[in-house]
Structure 1
Amino acid sequence: MTSFTPKHFHNIPLSVLDLAPITEGSDASQSFKNSVELAQHTEEWGFHRYWLAEHHNMPGIASSATSVVIGHIAGATKHIRVGSGGIMLPNHAPLMIAEQFGTLEAMYPGRIDLGLGRAPGSDQATAYALRRTLQSRGEDFPELVEELEGYFAGGESARVRAFPGEGADIPIWLLGSSGFSAQLAAHKGLPFAFASHFAAEYTLPALRLYRDNFKPSEILKKPYAMVGVNVIAADTEEKAQFLATSQQQQFLSLRRGAPTPLKPPVENLEEVVSSYELASLSQSLDSRTTLVGTKETVKKKLEQFLAETEADEMIINSQIYDQQDRLRSYEIVAELLEV
């Protein structure tokens, strides 16, 4: 891998990935209120961008209409960048995404990001319900990105043009959990975000592919890579470990094929899951990218992961049941920026 100047996490941008959790006993309306509150606080605390992700058929995630929620968050904040982490492009006509994000950029100039993924963000039955056909596949992703870029570039000779959208200066990111999007981002000279928060073992190979094959473009002269990290921070190790059981239960419900709202934490996870499921958690929530503990613990692990990846930016996901505990977790990370 290309050599890099050592980075320190308090000198690189830290951002927020909000999965807009719907907690057990609550609803989407409360989820959006919580997201606004989190966005306003993290903006004050110095976080760089605030991304929301497209998921469908998930009773614990409220951001399925991702463009709408992005507008809601951008309207409630002042300067933090707001965007998608990501829009699953095969689910949509590129023209509609160009128009939606062109509209967002017109409303909130200079603050909108467009992160693109190629997965369905759901199961195959839901993908069919979204697309009405499964002829649109992940392999078509490069052509879909090209078409979307064409709508932003525009031109009077084009038969179909995006209004709003044409001429909009909206940063496009490619997102991935494997090498496919890493290579495409490198080829196109685009920034790349890797889902290391749930695909830790593929992180370094994907970053190597991206950096080794990067071609400078009008957008980027050198590679720019962001990595995802789960952080569950609290004022004691015991409380952090307790809070982390909500995310652990959420991952296991996905593994079982029966997703649920985000459940409250439990004192003893072994009472609600099998020993086999406990073992599988270490794969999904790798300790390198799922950081659970006090400020000191999180600081040490963030430094280790940054040294390992040489990332240009980190985006932090904190699936925590109680809103005040979630705010406190991000506040602890923000305090590290001041060190």
Structure 2
Amino acid sequence: MQHSNLKNTPFSVLDLVPVVEGSTRRAAIARSLDLAQHAERLGYKRFWISEHHNMESLASASPVLLISHIAEHTSKIRVGSGGVMLPNHAPLIVAEQFGTLETLFPKRIDLGLGRAPGTDQRTAMALRRYQQETVQDFPNNIEELQLYLSEENSTGAVRAIPGEGLEIPLYLLGSSTFSAQLAGKKGLPYAFASHFAPTHLHDALHLYHQHFQPSEQLEKPYTMACVNVIVADTDAEAQRLATSAKRFMLGVIHNTRKPLAPPVDSMEGEWLPHEQAQIEHMMRYSFIGSPHTVAAGLEQFKEQTQVDEIIAISHIYEHEARLKSYEYLSTLFKAEVSSAV
């Protein structure tokens, strides 16, 4: 059975650099690099690292350093931020850092931008030094960042060097309609975080298209959606692997931030009914099963959303199983999948 709808769709990877139970943060970074190299060999378009702070479960507090490390040890896959949480940083610093990355790794760096803190409010205050954010700060910061990256700023009093005049593509990330409208008005590609915040996906995509205005970077709308994907030999094995992701989400609800736990045979006794309902809602856009099952689900998702690109995130405890999941997924956009699978 050929999945032509998927075969013409770029697939990418989002990695939070998860720390697994019983292992180290150094090992988490090594696993992420191995996954990036694996994704490059399999033909994925890009490999993005998220920004999270004060989380025992994630080693992605410094996306810029991780992007540099991964880009250094790969050769062609695009590497970027999924994303840099712009309110945590001065736009000039971001322009200089990504200008340096683009100088080191030309035509391979993506700058995805978000406006969430990437952590809890107390940590956000430690990062932002008690600055109060207003609704206009994010749009203003993007404009300032774009100014520093432009050739026109060569006569400015404050310049980003390296950075100035480099063609570093910007992407707006969001889980609400605010960023969707903003991305449309600015003529930037838009990526929706449907892997944990599914509620406004369709409204956000609609508003993005409705408000889109062509820009120097982008002539026509470009949408991306991040979804949870876990592929294994059988539906049953994939569902078992997915219990690690569900336990991770449970930690998000409880604000415990523990490392990624091993899978269990059943979630019974792991969660309360209301927690189960909440996690099942958060993970609404999850494609878990055999290659055949996942292909059917992703086909339907692509048909319903008409997104241009799918970004897959896979919280899987066992590293080899995670590599295998991305390998199975790559067969859906690279070749035919047998209906017997």
Establish whether TM, by shorter chain, passes 0.5: yes
Whether the 8 Å contact between 1:182 and 1:192 is mirrored in structure 2 is yes
Q: Deviations over 1:209-264 (max 9, x none)?
A: 00011111111111000011100110011110110000101111111121111111
Q: CA deviation at 1:60?
A: 0.9
Aligned length, in residue pairs:
331
Hey, what's the Cα distance between the residues in 2 that align with 1:36 and 1:112?
A: 16
Q: CA deviation at 1:136?
A: 3.3
**What is the 5 A alignment of 1:61-80?**
61-80=58-77
Residue 312 of structure 1 corresponds to 308
Residue 339 of structure 2 corresponds to none
Residue 202 of structure 1 corresponds to 200
Structure 1, unaligned runs of 5 or more: 1-6
Report the residue type matching 2:109 in the other structure: I
Report the residue type matching 1:333 in the other structure: L
**What is the 5 A alignment of 1:77-226?**
77-137=74-134, 139-154=136-151, 155-226=153-224
Moved over 6 A (4+): none
Residue 4 of structure 1 corresponds to none
SS of the residue corresponding to residue 67 of structure 1 reads: helix
Asked if residue 336 in structure 1 is aligned to residue 296 in structure 2, the reply is: no
Hey, what's the Cα distance between the residues in 2 that align with 1:212 and 1:279?
A: 33
Q: Deviations over 1:195-220 (max 9, x none)?
A: 11112221110000000111111111
CA RMSD of aligned residues (A): 1.1
Whether the 8 Å contact between 1:105 and 1:168 is mirrored in structure 2 is yes
Residue 26 of structure 1 corresponds to 23
Structure 2, unaligned runs of 5 or more: 337-341
Whether the 8 Å contact between 2:185 and 2:213 is mirrored in structure 1 is yes
Q: CA deviation at 1:137?
A: 4.6
Hey, what's the Cα distance between the residues in 2 that align with 1:91 and 1:42?
A: 29
Report the residue type matching 1:264 in the other structure: P
Residue 293 of structure 1 corresponds to 289
Q: CA deviation at 1:138?
A: 5.4
Whether the 8 Å contact between 2:154 and 2:164 is mirrored in structure 1 is no
Report the residue type matching 1:329 in the other structure: S
Whether the 8 Å contact between 1:90 and 1:137 is mirrored in structure 2 is no
Residue 281 of structure 2 corresponds to 283
Hey, what's the Cα distance between the residues in 2 that align with 1:275 and 1:47?
A: 37
Q: CA deviation at 1:271?
A: 2.1
Normalising by structure 2, we get a TM-score of: 0.95
Hey, what's the Cα distance between the residues in 2 that align with 1:166 and 1:136?
A: 27
Whether the 8 Å contact between 1:270 and 1:278 is mirrored in structure 2 is no
Report the residue type matching 1:316 in the other structure: A
SS of the residue corresponding to residue 199 of structure 2 reads: helix
Normalising by structure 1, we get a TM-score of: 0.96
Q: Bigger CA drift: 87-96 or 56-65?
A: 56-65
Whether the 8 Å contact between 1:177 and 1:199 is mirrored in structure 2 is yes
Q: Bigger CA drift: 133-142 or 231-240?
A: 133-142
Residue 252 of structure 2 corresponds to 254
Q: CA deviation at 1:156?
A: 3.3
Hey, what's the Cα distance between the residues in 2 that align with 1:281 and 1:119?
A: 20
Hey, what's the Cα distance between the residues in 1 that align with 2:204 and 2:26?
A: 37
Hey, what's the Cα distance between the residues in 1 that align with 2:244 and 2:17?
A: 14
